[in-house]
């Protein structure tokens, strides 16, 4: 839902010719309901690259990427002229540097009243090498 993605696709909530209107309505609702401030985080699959992107609304998305390198490709970075984000409004702390298969491990240990839980997102390549890690309060 955050992306970005290539310009000619029409099959997702990111694409200008796809379901972007529905995505924008959901994002407005999530902001109005205070869900972003309360820790709304999105995890998506069916992308062929791993990334961590942050929409201007503050909504963060983590893409699991392809499981094997044969199905992986380079991602579309923010600000690319031929993309769904040509103005570079999306921040992207991580995008896989090369086409690589792998997985995303999400860990949320139990929290307490004094120490709320923190979600940890770890991206790995298909051989188990860690590519990126970040923690987000929940």
Structural domains of the chain sorted by starting position, each given as residue range(s) with its CATH number in brackets: 20-137 (3.60.21.10)
Of the candidates 135, 134, 99, 91, the one whose C-alpha atom is nearest the C-alpha of residue 117 is 135
Higher pLDDT, 16 or 44: 44
Q: Which two tokens stand for residue 76?
A: 């579309």
> What phi and psi, each to the nearest 5 degrees, are found at residue 104?
-115, 125
Question: For residue 12, is pLDDT > 90?
Answer: no
User: According to DSSP H, which parts of the chain are helical?
Assistant: 20-32
Higher pLDDT, 69 or 46: 69
**Is the overall model pTM greater than 0.85, yes or no?**
yes
The string of DSSP codes covering 40-54 is -EEEE-S-SS-EEEE
pLDDT 10s digits, 64-118:
999 999 999 999 899 998 888 999 999 999 999 999 999 999 999 888 878 878 8
């Amino acid at each position: 839902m955050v992306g970005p993605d290539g310009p000619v696709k029409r099959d997702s909530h990111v694409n200008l010719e796809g379901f972007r209107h529905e995505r924008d309505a959901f994002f407005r609702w999530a902001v109005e309901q205070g869900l972003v401030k309360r820790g709304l985080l999105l995890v998506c699959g069916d992308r062929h690259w791993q990334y961590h992107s942050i929409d201007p609304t503050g909504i963060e998305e983590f893409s699991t990427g392809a499981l094997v390198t044969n199905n992986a490709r380079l991602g579309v970075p923010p600000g690319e002229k031929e993309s769904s984000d040509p103005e570079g409004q999306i921040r992207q702390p991580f995008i896989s540097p090369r086409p690589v298969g792998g997985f995303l491990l999400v860990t949320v240990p139990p929290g307490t009243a004094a120490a709320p839980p923190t979600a940890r997102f770890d991206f790995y390549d298909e051989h188990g090498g860690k590519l990126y890690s970040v923690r987000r309060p929940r």
